[in-house]
Amino acid sequence: MIVVKVGGGEGIDPTGVLDDVADLHAGGERLVLVHGGSGETNRVATALGHPPRFVTSPSGRTSRYTDRTTLEIFTMVYRGRLNATHVEHLQAAGANAVGLCGADGRLLTGRRKASVRSVENGKTKRLHGDHTGTVDHVNDALLRTLLDGGYLPVVTPPALADDGVLVNVDGDRAAAAIATALGADALLLLTGVPGLLRDPDDPTTLVRDVDADDPGDATAAAGGRMRAKLDGALRAARGGVAQVVIGDARVARPVRTARAGSGTVVREGGAP
Amino acid sequence: MIVVKVGGGEGIDPTGVLDDVADLHAGGERLVLVHGGSGETNRVATALGHPPRFVTSPSGRTSRYTDRTTLEIFTMVYRGRLNATHVEHLQAAGANAVGLCGADGRLLTGRRKASVRSVENGKTKRLHGDHTGTVDHVNDALLRTLLDGGYLPVVTPPALADDGVLVNVDGDRAAAAIATALGADALLLLTGVPGLLRDPDDPTTLVRDVDADDPGDATAAAGGRMRAKLDGALRAARGGVAQVVIGDARVARPVRTARAGSGTVVREGGAP
């Protein structure tokens, strides 16, 4: 059982990942695909006159401020554009994909963080009405039912919060929670870079191995969106997923390439 | 087993139907909900600078011309806005809903009609690149699996055509195909009018009963979007669905009201 996450940021073409997933599915592999969609969401939100707003927390972390209108656009794009067209692509490639967001069958549930701290012009403000949250529980029974039926689940944010509303959740952490809940053999987080880089602009600075018990300076190297990836990878490795790789979505056969260990390998005890 | 379709045209608030469905689900009823979304699709398409284009066939039938851009907007809204927020509403009401479009698990498959005849200024033209189709097959096994697991399936167009692409299909005919495939006890098509009216502007002209074996002038009375509803209703009645009602989505407890026979009842042999 393999959980594959493909990012949705600018410049990431998911086609290679989708085709590789379809091939592996055809070969009998049990797979769950998780995807993002931030780039397309930014484009549609801007076209609809509600451009994205990013906030920076006091600890320096940047996130999307998700008011209800943003949440509805986010859901429309993740669920209705990317999830549906990924399912269409996989179906055309012969894989019987089923798209799900976190609300479907309470697949991904957690807590809502209704307010967020934002540093603006050196001052910290608290913004209310945010629709972001965490993934605390996975309905792995629903995924197993679909996998047993020969289907390929394709999962996307949003999740469902305990107050019954949709919430924006991080796709990498969602994938990690799914892999842990399913007891997956592998979690592959595929993105637009070769893995965790010490210098984000220099692909030769790839961190080959991270010890999940003692990540040390890997945590410091992981800025921006890589921080959520590393965090998800650490949680999954500590949660018992035997192989966790942050790898490159852009290479040929990206799923098999990462499965072969190319990228940043995160495991308990570090390099073997 | 009941299949409920709620329309998505202008002026139809689905809330009453959703709450009634959630109540019946809580009482142990096996239900499938199918929904539309044409009104919201028109709004979003216009906001995105790609306003809807309707064509009139030589037989006088009006339909949405669905080029690929329109299909993607249609899918984004049906799947990502309406389906997801209906699932959110049902989840908040305690029903464990799972949203699906026709591509998921090949739930609704059929043939694509890649061109459409359009009468413009008295001349008939053939428009190519259309993405509409028919529902010829329903994966009822997937629906049964979900129903057996206690889930409430919430189904929306598009469907998946035999050439592997998403196609716009009529929601009423899709609901009829689902009800027939499941051998449902009832198909309730709920909309913004009390049922089939001889005069669309006069609710006192409600047609109480239609004989599915001999619909006679009921067919003539059904213009516009009502034609697809009556067509779906006739197919389901002829396909063995015991109770088929075209009813009002706007009344209190609209599902139970239609189930009690309020609206236009379509059955083989006509009025009992």
pLDDT digits (tens, 9 = 90+) for A87-108: 999 999 999 999 999 999 999 9
- The residue with tokens 């996450």 is A5
What are the two backbone dihedrals, phi and then psi, of residue A31, each rounded to the nearest 5 degrees? -135, 150
User: Higher-confidence residue: A114 or A234?
Assistant: A234
pLDDT at B64: 86
- The residue with tokens 């999954």 is A236
CA distance A251 to A257: 8
Is residue A231 included in any domain, yes or no? yes
* Closest CA of chain B from A65, distance in Å: 19
Q: Is the dihedral of CA A243, A246, A251, A253 positive or negative?
A: positive
DSSP assignments along A105-143, one per residue:
GG-EEE-EE--EEEEETTEEEEE-S--EE---EE-HHHH
Count CB neighbours of A163 within 10 A: 11
For residues A243-257, give the mean pLDDT. Answer: 97
Is residue A77 included in any domain, yes or no? yes
DSSP assignments along B75-139, one per residue:
HIIIIIIIIHHHHHHHHHTT--EEEEETTGGG-EEE-EE--EEEEETTEEEEE-S--EE---EE-
Nearest CB neighbour to A80, from listed B81, B160, B165: B81
CB contact under 8 A, B92 and A165: yes
Cis peptide before A158 (omega within 30 of 0): yes
Mean residue pLDDT across chain B: 94
The per-residue pLDDT for range A136-183, each reduced to its tens digit, is 999 999 999 999 999 999 999 999 998 889 999 999 999 999 999 999
> For chain B, which residues score pLDDT lower than 70?
none
**Cα distances (angstroms) measured from residue B126 to each of B56, B58, B130:** 11, 11, 10
Nearest CB neighbour to B98, from listed A48, A105, A151: A105
In this structure, which amino acid lies at residue A50? H
Q: Which residues make Cβ contacts (< 8 Å) with residue B82, sequence separation at least 6?
A: B8, B35, B36, B37, B40, B156
Please list the helix, strand and coil fractions of chain A in percent, rounded to the nearest 5, in that order.
35, 25, 40
Query: Which tokens in the block code for residue B245?
Result: 């009602």
Contact pairs from chain A to chain B, CB under 8 Å: 130
CA distance A88 to B106: 10
pLDDT at A130: 93
Is residue B114 included in any domain, yes or no? no
The per-residue pLDDT for range A173-196, each reduced to its tens digit, is 999 999 999 999 999 999 999 999
Taking a C-beta distance cutoff of 8 angstroms, is the pair A152, A94 a contact?
no
**Cα A7–Cα A228–Cα B81 angle in degrees, nearest 5:** 50
| B142 contacts chain A (CB < 8 A) | yes
Give the confidence band of A11 by pLDDT, cuts at 50, 70, 90: confident
Nearest to B84 by CA among A107, A129, A80, A33: A80
CB contact under 8 A, B84 and A76: yes
Is residue B126 included in any domain, yes or no? no
What are the two backbone dihedrals, phi and then psi, of residue A171, each rounded to the nearest 5 degrees? -65, -35
**Cα B189–Cα B193–Cα B196 angle in degrees, nearest 5:** 70
- The residue with tokens 């399913």 is A182
- The residue with tokens 């009405």 is A129
Is residue B17 included in any domain, yes or no? yes
CA distance B85 to B36: 13
Chain A positions touching B90 (Cβ under 8 A) are none
- CATH value at residue A256: 3.40.1160.10
Count CB neighbours of B270 within 10 A: 15
CA distance A173 to A234: 10
Is residue B157 included in any domain, yes or no? yes
Query: Which tokens in the block code for residue A19?
Result: 């085709």
CA distance B210 to B191: 17
Residues 96-115 of A with CB under 8 A from B: 96-101, 103-106
**Cα distances (angstroms) measured from residue A16 to each of A106, A171, A191:** 30, 19, 12
Chain B positions touching A165 (Cβ under 8 A) are 88, 92
CA distance B35 to B77: 12
CB contact under 8 A, A72 and B85: yes
pLDDT at A222: 80
Nearest to B258 by CA among B233, B221, B235, B226: B233
Taking a C-beta distance cutoff of 8 angstroms, is the pair A254, A197 a contact?
no
Segments forming the whole domain that contains residue A219: 2-51+69-108+138-267
| Nearest residue of B to residue A75, measured between CA atoms | B80
The secondary structure of residue A34, as a DSSP letter, is: E
CB contact under 8 A, B145 and A142: no
* Closest CA of chain B from A67, distance in Å: 15
pLDDT at B92: 96
CA distance A114 to A168: 11
Helix (H), strand (E) at residue B226: helix B226-238
CB contact under 8 A, A92 and B149: no
User: Is residue A23 classed exposed, middle or buried when 0-12, 13-18 and 19+ CB atoms within 10 A define those classes?
Assistant: middle
Nearest to A32 by CA among A139, A159, A130: A139
Is residue A122 included in any domain, yes or no? no
CB contact under 8 A, B79 and A77: no
pLDDT at B16: 97
| B80 contacts chain A (CB < 8 A) | yes
Q: Is A156 helix (H, G, I), strand (E, B) or coil?
A: strand
CA distance B226 to B228: 5
pLDDT at B120: 87
Taking a C-beta distance cutoff of 8 angstroms, is the pair A100, A28 a contact?
no
Q: What is the ipTM of this complex?
A: 0.95
Give the confidence band of A269 by pLDDT, cuts at 50, 70, 90: confident
Q: How many domains does one find in chain B?
A: 1
Is residue B158 included in any domain, yes or no? yes
